[in-house]
Amino acid sequence: MFRRYAIYVTPEGLLGQRGAEWLGWDMAQAGAVPHPDVQDLDVAKITKRPRKYGFHGTIKPPLVLANGTSIGELKSTATSLTNHLAPVTLAGLGVSRIGGFLALTPLGDTNALAAMAALVVKGLDAFRSPATPEEMDRRRQSSLSTSQERNLTQWGYPYVMDEFRFHITLTGPLKDAEEIAPILSAHFAPVLPEPYVIDHLTLAGEDSDGMFHSISRLPLRG
C-alpha cells in the first residue's frame, strides 16, 4: 500500500489542525484541506513542495523496507522502541529560516530530543533498504560536510545524529523569506504551546501519489 515509511513527530490539537490547513494536507484524515486565506500571500504556492509530507518533524527519515522485512514488523519494533522512550519537553516552537525556507523550530534545549531521535534512527535501521547509487549521488549534490557524508554512508541520510536539527517545514524555498516570516509567526502564534511536549511519534507511509499518511500513533511510554 505504501512505498516508503517514516517516523515523524506530528502535532495534534489546534496546532496540528492549523498546520494541516496551512500545508493543505491532513495526514491523519488522508485528505486535502483548504488553505487559510492570508492577505497578500499565495499559501498554496509557497507550500507546494512540503505539502506531500504533511505537518511533521522528521525523526526517522523516509525509508524503503529492506528485503525480508514487513510493515507489520516495522510497526511492532517501533512500538516496542517507543514504549521505552520518555516524552520530550521543549520550551516551545518558533518560526525560523532554514536556508531558503521557513519552519517551526524548537526553543531552548534540544539535547533530549536529539538523543531520542538518534535512538529511533539506530533502532529501526535494520528495516532500511540501502540507498541506491542514484540516491547517494543526489544527496551529494548538496556539498555535504565530512560528518554529513559519514551519516549518509552509515544511515542513508545526511541530517541525522550529530547533524540532526528538528524542524517542521512550512514552505518551500523562498526569495522573500524574511518578509514572510512575520506573517507566519502571527498565523501560528495563537496555537503554539509553551512548553511543547512530544508525547508520541507517528509511523507514516507514502502512497503511490507521493502523499504521506498517518499509519499508527506511537506513545512514548518510557
Burial (CB count <10 Å: 0-12, 13-18, 19+), residue 5: buried
pLDDT in tens, 135-144: 888 888 888 9
Residue 209 reports pLDDT greater than 90: yes
Query: What is this structure's pTM?
Result: 0.96
- pLDDT, residue 210, reads 96
Contacts of 184 (CB under 8 A, 6+ apart): 95, 102, 170, 171
pLDDT in tens, 7-44: 999 999 999 999 999 999 999 999 999 999 998 899 99
Look at residues 30, 31, 32, 35 and name the one whose alpha carbon lies nearest to residue 18. Answer: 35
Domains plus CATH for the chain?
4-219 (3.90.1140.10)
Do the Cβ atoms of 104 and 167 come closer than 8 Å? yes
Return d(Cα 21, Cα 44) in angstroms, integer.
Answer: 10
Residue 133 grid coordinates: 547509487
